[in-house]
Chains A and B, each alone.
Chain A
């Protein structure tokens, strides 16, 4: 295994469709909940400990060999908003394409066959990480980081926020990101023995509600 593969997978330029999504930031900006670097940090912290933790645990469990179908169903159950489920499957499908082209593997081909229209993105992320020779911890880090990095770069575009401030927000969240990744891996290990009910079910109601409102806008810059 090569640890450097994690840099390839976690790179914001990895071509898996993430650039068109704001992680709920566009809805939060419009609602006045994100107005600058301070409120961006609050928003990202909330995402990290909810969506980020769940995604990290799902991705790590997929690396550990938990059945993707069960993980996908468990993720559905943890995603009340239909708009978010659609977005997560779309991103999962795009990541599947990029992952199969980058790290060809029979396991990813089988996943594509099982989910032609896409599985939840963290499920795919875990199996792509596995195909890249990475471990559960790597996948958890990648999912947790993605849960905040996309929102931060979207806010740079939405508010013309100083990009150094946005990057500073991510840097200051790093210690919390470490803890979330640890908790996610711990939960994933429990899933191996106890089943998918051991996955965390932390949720952020405003993200779910915001996503539903956002999906109905006639004019928006981001897909979600």
Chain B
């Protein structure tokens, strides 16, 4: 390709797995899903559980510019220099899929400014069921839905539900109160996704984000192998 690999070469222009200085870049995992499904809460929980074992950073893509980044800052899940907000012009799906330039810039700046990173979580602002991440931006994507958003979402499908590398069904503790049938959701997800994994989680229980964190560790092991 046309990329320079000497230390002073210009920044990479694509999803190349190496940085301009030849070192392996961080694994990038995208988190998308409808508004209010618990993406930011999942990111916060992942940061808390992984921050002592990995060097990580977060890029948020908000509709109103900095809302999610500010939540993460308030919760102090990571030092502020490890959290960057990308402004999306009211269209997160454009910034994570159709025109990824601002996001690529954000992940590259994080790696340049805080040194080698193992993992960068790229969170999309809440969007619709068709919003997916470009392969030029992330190496794997998690789609987060919740039981209170309607237990027919797995059946309805859409690119997020059917193709995400991991489907997370969040807020399982609410199922009895909103009349959602978890068994039906699991069966529908299985029908839509075949062998792709699905995790049912409640961040209010002790297990919390553990299963998703385990999946992330697995992706990271494969990335660095």
Residues of A within 8 A of B (CB): 13, 15-22, 90, 93-95, 97-98, 100-101, 104, 109, 112-113, 116, 154, 157, 218-223
**Distance between Cα atoms of A133 and B161 in the complex (Å):** 42
| B contacts with A: majority SS | loop
Shortest Cβ distance from residue A44 to the other chain B in the assembled complex, whole angstroms: 18
Interface residues of B in 84-101 (CB under 8 A from A): 86-91, 94-95, 98-101
- Report the separation of the CA atoms of residues A67 and B8 in the bound assembly, to the nearest whole angstrom: 21
Beyond the given A16-B99, A109-B10, please list 14 additional residue pairs across the A-B interface where CB-CB is below 8 A.
A13-B99, A16-B101, A19-B89, A19-B95, A20-B88, A20-B91, A20-B95, A90-B105, A97-B13, A98-B101, A100-B2, A109-B4, A219-B65, A222-B87
A97 pairs with B64, CB closer than 8 A? no
Which residues of A sit under 8 angstroms from B14, Cβ to Cβ? 101
Q: 4 tightest A-B contacts by CB?
A: A112-B10, A20-B89, A94-B101, A223-B87
Which of B8, B87, B88, B94 is most buried by chain A, counting CB atoms within 10 A of its CB? Answer: B87
Residues of A within 8 A of B64 (CB): 219-221
Report if A19-B105 is in contact (Cβ < 8 Å); known contacts: A101-B14, A219-B65: no
Taking a contact as CB atoms closer than 8 A, the residue among A97, A100, A222 that contacts B90 in the complex is A222
Could you tell me how many residues of chain B have their Cβ less than 8 Å away from some Cβ of chain A? Answer: 27
Which residues between 32 and 82 of chain B lie within 8 Å of chain A, taking CB atoms? Answer: 63-66
Residues on the A chain within 8 Å of B4, using CB:
109
CB-nearest residue of chain B to A114: B10
Residues of B contacting A219 in the complex (Cβ-Cβ under 8 angstroms): 64-65
Residues of chain A within 8 A of B100, CB atoms compared = 15
Contact with A104, one of B2, B65, B86, B94 (Cβ below 8 angstroms): B2
Can you list 29 A-B contacts (CB < 8 A)? A13-B98, A17-B102, A19-B91, A19-B94, A19-B99, A20-B89, A20-B91, A20-B94, A20-B95, A21-B89, A22-B89, A100-B10, A100-B13, A101-B13, A101-B14, A109-B4, A112-B10, A112-B11, A113-B9, A113-B10, A116-B10, A116-B11, A157-B90, A218-B66, A219-B65, A220-B87, A221-B89, A222-B90, A223-B65
Bound-complex Cα distance A104 to B1 (A): 9
Complex-state Cα separation, A138 to B40, whole angstroms: 44
CA distance A109 to B66 in the complex (A): 32
Q: Mark B125-137, 1 if CB is under 8 A from A, else 0.
A: 0000000000000
Query: Across the interface, which residues of A come within 8 angstroms of B98, CB to CB?
Result: 13, 15, 19
Q: How far is the CA of A93 from the CA of B89 in the complex (A)?
A: 17
A90 to B4, CA, bound (A): 22
Question: Closest approach, in angstroms, between the C-beta of B146 and any C-beta of chain A?
Answer: 25
* Contact in complex: B99, A17 (CB < 8 Å): yes
Do B10 and A93 touch across chains, with their CB atoms under 8 A apart?
Answer: no
Q: In the complex, which residues of chain B have a beta carbon less than 8 angstroms from the beta carbon of A157?
A: 89-90
A147 to B87, CA, bound (A): 20
CA A17 to CA B94, docked complex, whole Å? 9
B86: chain A residues at CB < 8 Å are 20
For residue B27, CB closer than 8 A to chain A, the reply is no
- Is B122 an interface residue when CB atoms closer than 8 A count as contact? no
- A101: chain B residues at CB < 8 Å are 13-14
- Alpha-carbon gap, A113 to B6, bound state (A): 12
Known contacts A97-B13, A104-B2; A222/B105 CB under 8 A:
no
**Residue of B whose beta carbon sits closest to that of A22:** B89
A15 contacts B99, C-beta separation under 8 Å: yes
- Tell me the smallest distance from the CB of A26 to a CB of chain B, in Å: 9
What is the CB-to-nearest-CB distance from A22 to chain B, in angstroms, rounded to a whole number?
Answer: 7
Q: How far is the CB of B102 from chain A (nearest CB, A)?
A: 5
CB-defined contacts of A16 to chain B, threshold 8 Å = 99, 101
B89–A154 CB distance below 8 A? yes
Chain B residues with Cβ below 8 Å from A94 are 101-102, 105
Smallest beta-carbon distance B3→chain A, Å: 9
> With a CB–CB cut-off of 8 A, which chain A residues contact B29?
none
Q: Is B119 an interface residue (CB 8 A)?
A: no
